[in-house]
């Protein structure tokens, strides 16, 4: 039996717990998710290193999964645009059962390896693309089909699974094992297995974005200010990084479509917005290189 399916020896009488003990059991079990991601740190670092040159060459980040794993892939793909201004067309997720599976469980869709391959093939993957293939069990046919199609097209396939020796990690060019063990509720991998996948995806994509010069220091200077909250954040980031007062920060941001990177370099180097953009372009998008150049 898969470890993710094995009943938890720590909580055989879960249904008898008083509420405080029950809540504590769920919370404490999440610590194992953190530990699993920590153990996978070297694998995650290797995956980012392998993906980086492909993405720098214009490749896309593709995601494939079923159920909770699929929804987590969609979530990661969607959040890259507002957080890092990453183009939507360069972060594309497919999920077993199609878009409706985001909201309604589509039973049986995960068992269709042919559809998994077809969904990825429909994206016309190429050698610079990177597939993140997610399966808690590690044997989901839909995900295995996606990996097969990606690799046949020359794309880099990275497999994430919550069981050691899983087919998904074996089929992928690089495998990341998030060994979270038995769940508090047997087999409910939306619990700590899902938490570990979310953390691993956050770590992978955020590390990639840092290396793509989307961050200055630890500030998200390439965010897309698409609402009032993010606009306030853009102002605060510009003030913090440049030392400018609010009035100046807002004035320069208004001239560059609220692009923190551009405003920051313009203020710090006393440049026009156009000069700032040109300097950033010449610096590969790196604020640090633009400021020190």
SS3 assignment for 31-48: HHHHHHHHHCHHHHHHHH
**pTM, 2 dp:** 0.95
Domain count, the chain: 2
Last residue of a domain, one of 179, 211, 243: 211
Alpha helices by DSSP H, 85-191 = 113-121, 141-152, 167-171
162: CATH: 3.40.50.10490
Quote the CA–CA distance of 292 and 265 in Å, as a whole number.
Answer: 10
Please compute the mean of the pLDDT values over residues 137-141 and round it to a whole number: 96
Please compute the mean of the pLDDT values over residues 288-293 and round it to a whole number: 93
3-state helix, strand, coil in the chain (%, to 5): 55, 10, 35
152, 260: one domain? no
Please compute the mean of the pLDDT values over residues 276-285 and round it to a whole number: 96
276: CATH: 1.10.8.1080
83, 160: one domain? yes
Quote the CA–CA distance of 42 and 221 in Å, as a whole number.
Answer: 27
Domain that holds residue 288: 228-292
* Residue of 79, 152, 173, 251 with catalytic role: 79
In a domain, 2, yes or no: no
206, 257: one domain? no
Place of tokens 């991998």: 189
263: tokens are 């405003």
Residue 106 neighbours by CB under 8 Å, 6+ apart? 96, 97, 98, 100
- pLDDT tens across 208-230, in order? 999 999 999 999 999 999 899 99
Residue 276 neighbours by CB under 8 Å, 6+ apart? 256, 262, 263, 265, 266, 269, 290
For residue 240, what pLDDT band results from cuts at 50, 70 and 90?
very high
34, 82: one domain? yes
Place of tokens 């996948």: 197
Q: Is 217 exposed, middle or buried (0-12, 13-18, 19+ CB in 10 A)?
A: exposed
Which residues does residue 177 pair with via DSSP β-bridges, in sequence order? 161
Does the active-site annotation cover 183?
no
275, 207: one domain? no
- pLDDT tens across 41-76, in order? 999 999 999 999 999 999 999 999 999 999 999 999
> b/e per residue, 22-46, with b = 16+ CB within 10 A?
eeebbeebeebbebbbeebeebbee
* Residue of 110, 152, 173, 246 with catalytic role: 110
Q: What is the model's pLDDT at position 101?
A: 94
Does the active-site annotation cover 5?
no
Please compute the mean of the pLDDT values over residues 177-200 and round it to a whole number: 96
240, 191: one domain? no
- pLDDT tens across 246-260, in order? 999 999 999 999 999
For residue 107, what pLDDT band results from cuts at 50, 70 and 90?
confident
């Amino acid at each position: 039996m898969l470890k993710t399916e094995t009943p938890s020896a720590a909580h055989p009488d879960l249904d008898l717990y008083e509420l405080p003990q029950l809540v504590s059991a769920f919370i404490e079990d999440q610590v194992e998710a953190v530990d699993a991601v920590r153990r996978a740190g070297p694998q995650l670092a290797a995956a980012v290193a392998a993906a980086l040159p492909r993405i720098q060459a214009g490749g896309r980040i593709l995601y494939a999964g079923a159920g909770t794993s699929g929804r987590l892939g969609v979530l990661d793909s969607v959040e890259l645009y507002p957080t890092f201004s990453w183009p939507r067309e360069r972060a594309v997720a497919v999920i077993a059962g199609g878009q409706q599976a985001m909201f309604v469980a589509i039973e049986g869709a995960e068992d269709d390896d042919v559809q998994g391959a077809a969904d990825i093939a429909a994206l016309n993957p190429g050698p610079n693309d990177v597939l993140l293939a997610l399966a808690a069990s590690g044997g989901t046919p839909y995900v295995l089909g996606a990996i097969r199609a990606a690799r046949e097209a020359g794309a880099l396939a990275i497999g994430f699974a919550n069981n050691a020796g899983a087919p998904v990690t074996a089929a992928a060019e690089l495998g990341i094992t998030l060994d979270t063990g038995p769940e508090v509720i047997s087999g409910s991998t939306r619990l700590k297995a899902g938490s570990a996948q979310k953390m691993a995806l956050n770590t992978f994509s955020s590390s990639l974005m840092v290396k793509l010069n989307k961050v200055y220091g630890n500030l998200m200077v390439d965010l897309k200010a698409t609402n009032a909250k993010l606009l306030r954040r853009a102002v605060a980031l510009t003030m913090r990084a440049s030392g400018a007062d609010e009035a100046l920060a807002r004035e320069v941001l208004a001239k560059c479509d609220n692009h923190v990177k551009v405003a920051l370099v313009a203020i710090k180097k006393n440049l026009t917005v156009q000069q700032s953009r040109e300097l950033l372009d010449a610096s590969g998008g790196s604020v640090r290189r633009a400021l020190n150049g």
